[in-house]
Chain A
């Protein structure tokens, strides 16, 4: 139980929360970067390696296209079907191998990114699929390379959908980051768990919850705003 009458109570609370928020920004930020990088690639590949897709024959081999497509599909499904709390625990050896420890904000990045990538990949897939096939044909008729079509047509035209997907992913990652926090990942979840729950402080609990609500609102609004501004349909 934390003494509410301690003259430093509110100052301590602010310090702790700010430190937690900083850690949350760090873990969510880095894992988001990885998620966008790999999730975008995976989502694009999922669509384009399908039969008659732009990359149906990578390096001239349809077999390779089929393999990439199937493997990605299965991996993404596995990633999406394991509850995050289990995934976190399953990944402990892998995290230790990668980061050297499975405790702390840096270690928290690993499960967050691995949960985020398949999640974002599916959202990217939906966005890319919405791009009309005729646009690809038009670019081909202009003599565009596959890379140009990928970047300037498929991804560029999906940008509004990707912005929405991104904000949904950020919100998901913030939620997951709180869960990692509870098992030693640091951040706002850690603050809520250790101070709010284990040491019975409703002030800490409420402060964290309110901050999380504000963050989620902020990122969702940003995403909606960006999608609206970027869409000219």
Chain B
């Protein structure tokens, strides 16, 4: 649905030049929720702005639904933008318009008639659970409600893509969860493809099917979240499930990553029983992602080399992803 290919974008000139995007290539599949994580200044904002051509890359191509956004201008570009909704960290609602009128702006731009605008606005406000607030002004709403208006405005023209620029970064944890769940629900119901950027790992954990890690204008890794978690030395895996430093030990240390499989089996007890190893737990980080137990456990396995490798082989045969650290 979205395909970014070899995109470069620089700011400034000479020695002060900064490469905001340094040869970025990325693919977002239709209907998935794709998260780009990275610290501020990593180039995420620039990246998401090239998708709807708010920023023009210096080189490379950006395809959305088969259209090369970098080649569009004027009416064609505006037309293409009707198919790409966007929500923002600071909501960017018009303070002088009511909630309904803010949503209607989107439809005024696409040229819908008055009656159609009104009914569509109320319909979409219902969808984001805000129908009671249609005549309120943004200043009278909470942050979460404002973002719902932002979502309603972005989706009023029935786009197939939703871009989310740190949409939950100004919200408290509870509200963040509600907004993320809403985005996930809408994505499922409407078949929306969502590209979001965030600096919060929790966002990726909660709703993303796929993710990319960005730093200094480059994408360091990307792929489905499950796959990234089970990739050796994955930055995302380590960031999502931090296990801390390894304490000094003469024993073997292994890390088990599980993504929904075998979590209900008593793995550690089994090791102790079948291999006679007194397993020590050095660290564990487990969470429920998409309703499945996912996480990593770091174990200390005392014993001779043979016993350890036998245990590791056994774990692997159960479908667990096992990394031998030392």
Interface residue from B82, B88, B90 paired with A143 (Cβ < 8 Å): B82
A230 within 8 A of B: yes
Given contacts A145-B78, A232-B139, are A138 and B86 in contact (CB under 8 A)?
yes
Interface residues of B in 107-150 (CB under 8 A from A): 108-110, 137-139
| Given A137-B88, A153-B94, A157-B96: A143 touches B54 (CB 8 Å cut-off) | no
Query: B residues 66-115 with Cβ under 8 Å of A?
Result: 77-82, 84-86, 88, 90, 92-97, 105-106, 108-110
Among B78, B81, B95, contact of A157 (Cβ-Cβ < 8 Å): B95
CB of B153 closer than 8 Å to a CB of A: yes
Q: Decide yes or no whether A144 CB sits under 8 A from chain B.
A: yes
| Closest chain B CB from A82 CB (angstroms) | 36
Known interface pairs A143-B81, A152-B105. Does A137 touch B92 (Cβ–Cβ under 8 Å)?
A: yes
| Residues in chain A near residue B84, CB distance under 8 A | 141
Nearest B residue to A136, CB-CB:
B92
- With A134-B90, A135-B94 already in contact, the answer to whether A233 and B139 are too (CB < 8 A) is yes
Given A156-B94, A232-B137, A233-B95, CB of A142 within 8 Å of CB of B88: no
Considering the chains assembled together, what is the distance between the CA atoms of A71 and B52 in angstroms? Answer: 34
Question: Which residue, of B54, B79, B95, B110, has the highest number of chain A Cβ atoms within 10 A?
Answer: B95
- Indicate if A81 sits at the interface (CB-CB under 8 A): no
A140 at the interface (CB under 8 A from B): yes
B198 interface contact, C-beta 8 A: no
A158 and chain B: residue at smallest CB distance: B96
Decide: B81 and A138 in contact? CB cutoff 8 A.
no
Interface size class of B (residues with CB under 8 A): 20 to 34
Q: Does A148 sit at the interface, judged by CB under 8 A?
A: yes
In the complex, how many angstroms separate the beta carbon of A160 from the nearest chain B beta carbon? 8
Cα–Cα, bound, A160→B96 (Å): 9
Interface of B is mostly: mixed
Answer yes or no: B215 CB below 8 A from chain A CBs: no
A144→B74 CA distance, assembly (Å):
10
Q: Which residues of B have CB within 8 Å of A138? A: 86, 88, 92-93, 153
- Say yes or no for B157: interface residue by CB 8 A criterion: yes
Q: Which residues of chain A are within 8 angstroms of B96 by Cβ–Cβ distance?
A: 156-157, 159-160, 230-232
In the complex, what residues of B have CB within 8 A of residue A143's CB?
77-82, 109-110, 157
Tell me the B167-225 residues at the A interface (CB within 8 Å). Answer: none
CB 8 Å contact bits of A46-65 with B (1 = contact, 0 = none): 00000000000000000000
Q: Contacts A134-B88, A135-B92, A135-B94: A141 and B108 contacting too (C-beta < 8 A)?
A: no
Check B95–A232 contact: CB distance below 8 A.
yes
Question: A100 contacts the other chain (Cβ, under 8 Å)?
Answer: no
Shortest Cβ gap from A31 to chain B (Å): 28
Considering the chains assembled together, what is the distance between the CA atoms of A140 and B154 in angstroms?
Answer: 12
In the bound complex, CA of A209 to CA of B264 (Å): 90
| A interface residues, tally (CB under 8 Å) | 23
A residues less than 8 Å from B94 (CB atoms): 135, 152-153, 156-157
CB distance from B46 to the nearest CB of A (A): 13
B109→A137 contact, CB < 8 A: no
Residues on B with beta carbons closer than 8 Å to the beta carbon of A230: 96
Complexed CA–CA distance, A156 and B106 (Å): 15
Q: Are A148 and B109 in contact (CB under 8 A)?
A: yes
Rounded to whole angstroms, the CA-CA distance of A231 and B137 in the bound complex is: 10
User: Nearest chain B CB to A148's CB is how many angstroms away?
Assistant: 6
Known contacts A152-B105, A232-B95, A232-B96; A140/B81 CB under 8 A: yes
Q: Name the contact of A141 in the complex, choosing from B86, B110, B137 (C-beta under 8 A).
A: B86
A132 interface residue (CB < 8 Å to B): yes
- Is A139 an interface position by the 8 A CB rule? yes
Complexed CA–CA distance, A135 and B88 (Å)? 10
Residue of B nearest to A153 (CB): B94
Could you mark each residue 43-60 of chain B with 1 if its beta carbon is under 8 Å from any beta carbon of chain A, else 0?
000000000101000000
Docked Cα-Cα span, A148 to B97, in Å, equals: 15
Q: How far is the CA of A132 from the CA of B92 in the complex (A)?
A: 8
Chain A hits for B154, CB < 8 A: 141-142
Beyond A141-B86, A143-B78, list 9 extra A-B contacts (CB 8 Å): A135-B92, A138-B86, A138-B88, A142-B81, A142-B106, A143-B77, A143-B80, A232-B138, A233-B139
* Interface set of B (CB-CB < 8 Å, partner A): 52, 54, 77-82, 84-86, 88, 90, 92-97, 105-106, 108-110, 137-139, 153-154, 157, 163
Chain A residues within CB distance 8 Å of chain B: 132, 134-135, 137-145, 148, 152-153, 156-157, 159-160, 230-233
The 9 A-B pairs of least Cβ separation, nearest first, read A143-B81, A138-B92, A232-B137, A143-B78, A141-B86, A134-B92, A143-B82, A144-B109, A142-B109
Q: List 26 A-B contacts (CB under 8 A).
A: A132-B92, A134-B92, A137-B54, A137-B88, A138-B92, A139-B105, A139-B109, A141-B52, A141-B163, A142-B82, A142-B105, A143-B81, A143-B110, A143-B157, A144-B78, A145-B109, A152-B94, A152-B105, A156-B94, A156-B96, A159-B96, A160-B96, A231-B95, A232-B96, A232-B138, A233-B95
